[in-house]
Structure 1
């Protein structure tokens, strides 16, 4: 898909402020003539994550075509449409998508937006539709009604969570459930009645919770993702430990932060391979060179999945009688990360990679994963304008 114009980016920011989650697709001249579009990776992920359609399990041929009700928005009117999702018999059965009536609103290389709400796909031309004007219009119109309905439903959960956090904040300092770095996260989950589990899904009814101590000014954890071992020279993180680890206090470990702006003490750096759309970790040792690979498309999808909507919860911390106590005081509410900024933020050092690994004296390897983090105070570089709420 082409790079979005400033006007298109502004429209996405308006929609984001109104709680709208969407996917984008760019019809080509050939696609419009033939009434066919490739279902790109981002579109396939959007459909799958919203439990609309899964191309991975769809058979090839017209007999396996799936059709879904759709509405196309054009200023003050709506066109009834049908979305066709299928995999042709030819070639590898590459996923296809089409919306009947799309040629009435789209020109080649316009950006078409897809929303799913109330068991229906809602389609509009992001490039040409006057989104701000329609939403702010004093006159009732179908697009304004759609956005208002989405905003109301999404806001209910956020308001519910915000009110619970205010009640917790009004209690003052609360004792941490464990004395460790993870204590702040586990404490807020316990207070909210969230059971501890290993799921990677958002914590509270679709909202991710990220809590942090105000005094530390630490980087903010985004998500963890292992490399693509099939594409990587190294096939496990044990190999990473063996190659770059060091002894400290009788433990062989590698507590490492890797950036795109320069090599660390182990000679490691992150690089973007634009042509392959890869993130690569590289060693300055010639016999090693590039040794880990992540597909950038995979990382973008993980970022969008993890942080579709997030509460970043700030707390004061104090130590009394060897126990830590927290007073939760502020929330920054972000939605819909600008995933196209991911590689830029890696290259400029705003997004970094950590992997804490160590081998204990008994030979057991403890590995806490490959964790992508965002530099403190850089949320506005990755997310559209956010809302900040005082809890006290």
Structure 2
């Protein structure tokens, strides 16, 4: 797909700010003449992620074509359409997509936004439409109505969760469940009736919950992700521990923070290799050198999975009758991280990595990470403008 012009970039920005999940496609001159478009990787991934269609499971030929009700949008009109999703018998069955009536609302090399919503596909020509003008117009129009409905639907769960945490905050300080750094989050989830588990999925109906003590300037957890052992010199957390661990009291462990800015006391640091899209952990010991690797693609995927939408809940930590309590007081609500920023923030040391590896008394190596964390002031660099809610 070609580079977006300023109008298209602005339309994409407005749609993103309004919680509209979409994919983009560019009809070529040949495609318009033949009524055919390639379903590119981004289109295929989007349709699959939305549960609309999986081309990988589709057989070739016209008998296996899938038709989906669709709508084509102009400034003040809307046209009914049907999307055809198929794999031809020729050319190895390369995935195709087409919308009936598309030629009436697009020209060659326009950029089209495809939006899956309410069991239909909606097509907006972001080369021709002016989305922000239509949204702010006093006149009713189909684009404004679509985005308003998406916004209302997208915000239903967040409003529900906001109300639940708001009620909890009004109860006053809540006794801590346990004496540990994680207690502020565990206590919140327990009070909300969320079962504590090790799932990688967001905590509450697609929203990730991250609670923290407001009076501490600690880094915030983004996600945990082990290296790609197949690409790495070391093949396990035990190898890392054996090479760099230390004895502390009765434990042999490696608890440390690793940054791309400087080497830590173990001589470990990170480096981003954009040419091959790898994050590499390296040692200043020349006999070891680079020892583990993460693909940036995998890290991007984890970030998107975990933080499509997140409530960062700040709490005051109070001692009442000798017991720790939490007063939940503020929420910062973020959506859809900017993936390109993730790599930059790694390079700048705003996002760092924590090893939490220990060999227990039975000789078993336990790894609680590696945890990717972000400095407190880094949230507004990784996410679009957030919303803040005062609970008390």
Normalised by the length of structure 2, the TM-score is 0.89
Q: Which residue of 1 aligns with 2:142?
A: 142
Summarize the Cα distance change of 1:318–1:32 in structure 2 as closer, same or farther, 3 Å threshold. Answer: farther
Deviation for aligned residue 1:131: 0.9
Q: Which residue of 1 aligns with 2:195?
A: 195
Could you list the per-position Cα deviations for residues 60-87 of structure 1 after superposition, in whole angstroms to 9, with x for gaps in the alignment? 5554443322223232233433334445
Deviation for aligned residue 1:332: 0.8
Q: Which residue of 1 aligns with 2:355?
A: 355
Q: Which residue of 2 aligns with 1:115?
A: 115
Q: Which residue of 2 aligns with 1:293?
A: 293
State which drifts further: 69-78 or 115-124.
Answer: 69-78
Q: What is the rounded CA distance, in whole Å, between the counterparts of 1:229 and 1:124 in structure 2? A: 43
Alpha-carbon contact 1:229-1:293 (below 8 Å) kept: yes
Summarize the Cα distance change of 1:105–1:193 in structure 2 as closer, same or farther, 3 Å threshold. Answer: same
State which drifts further: 50-59 or 182-191.
Answer: 50-59
Summarize the Cα distance change of 1:318–1:122 in structure 2 as closer, same or farther, 3 Å threshold. Answer: same
- What does 1:249-264 correspond to in 2, within 5 Å? 249-264=249-264
Could you list the per-position Cα deviations for residues 272-291 of structure 1 after superposition, in whole angstroms to 9, with x for gaps in the alignment? 22232222222333333333
Q: What is the rounded CA distance, in whole Å, between the counterparts of 2:156 and 2:66 in structure 1? A: 32
Q: Which residue of 1 aligns with 2:74?
A: 74
Q: What is the rounded CA distance, in whole Å, between the counterparts of 2:90 and 2:255 in structure 1? A: 50
Q: Which residue of 1 aligns with 2:312?
A: 312
Q: Which residue of 1 aligns with 2:237?
A: 237
1:340 matched to 2:347? The reply is no
Deviation for aligned residue 1:328: 0.2
Deviation for aligned residue 1:133: 0.4
What is the alpha-carbon root mean square deviation over aligned residues? Answer: 2.7
Q: What is the rounded CA distance, in whole Å, between the counterparts of 1:9 and 1:252 in structure 2? A: 52
Helix, strand or coil: the match of 1:377?
helix
Deviation for aligned residue 1:5: 5.9
Unaligned runs of 5+ in 1: none
Q: Which residue of 1 aligns with 2:38?
A: 37
Q: What is the rounded CA distance, in whole Å, between the counterparts of 1:31 and 1:249 in structure 2? A: 69
Q: What is the rounded CA distance, in whole Å, between the counterparts of 1:65 and 1:360 in structure 2? A: 56
State which drifts further: 67-76 or 165-174.
Answer: 67-76
Q: What is the rounded CA distance, in whole Å, between the counterparts of 1:92 and 1:17 in structure 2? A: 39
Helix, strand or coil: the match of 2:240?
helix
Alpha-carbon contact 1:45-1:301 (below 8 Å) kept: no
Q: What is the rounded CA distance, in whole Å, between the counterparts of 2:101 and 2:340 in structure 1? A: 29
Alignment length, in residue pairs? Answer: 390
Q: What is the rounded CA distance, in whole Å, between the counterparts of 2:19 and 2:151 in structure 1? A: 5
Helix, strand or coil: the match of 2:257?
strand
Deviation for aligned residue 1:12: 4.0
Deviation for aligned residue 1:33: 6.5
Q: What is the rounded CA distance, in whole Å, between the counterparts of 2:101 and 2:295 in structure 1? A: 35
Alpha-carbon contact 1:175-1:323 (below 8 Å) kept: yes
Could you list the per-position Cα deviations for residues 325-344 of structure 1 after superposition, in whole angstroms to 9, with x for gaps in the alignment? 10000011111111222111
Q: Which residue of 2 aligns with 1:18?
A: 18
Summarize the Cα distance change of 1:281–1:146 in structure 2 as closer, same or farther, 3 Å threshold. Answer: same
Normalised by the length of structure 1, the TM-score is 0.89
Unaligned runs of 5+ in 2: none
Q: What is the rounded CA distance, in whole Å, between the counterparts of 2:3 and 2:270 in structure 1? A: 24
Helix, strand or coil: the match of 1:378?
helix
1:385 matched to 2:382? The reply is no
Alpha-carbon contact 2:237-2:365 (below 8 Å) kept: no
State which drifts further: 301-310 or 257-266.
Answer: 257-266
State which drifts further: 328-337 or 91-100.
Answer: 91-100
Could you list the per-position Cα deviations for residues 256-315 of structure 1 after superposition, in whole angstroms to 9, with x for gaps in the alignment? 222222222223222222232222222333333333222222222221221111111110
Deviation for aligned residue 1:150: 1.0
State which drifts further: 323-332 or 217-226.
Answer: 217-226
Alpha-carbon contact 1:16-1:335 (below 8 Å) kept: no
Q: What is the rounded CA distance, in whole Å, between the counterparts of 1:47 and 1:210 in structure 2? A: 29
Deviation for aligned residue 1:38: 4.5
Could you list the per-position Cα deviations for residues 341-375 of structure 1 after superposition, in whole angstroms to 9, with x for gaps in the alignment? 21111111121122210112331211112221111
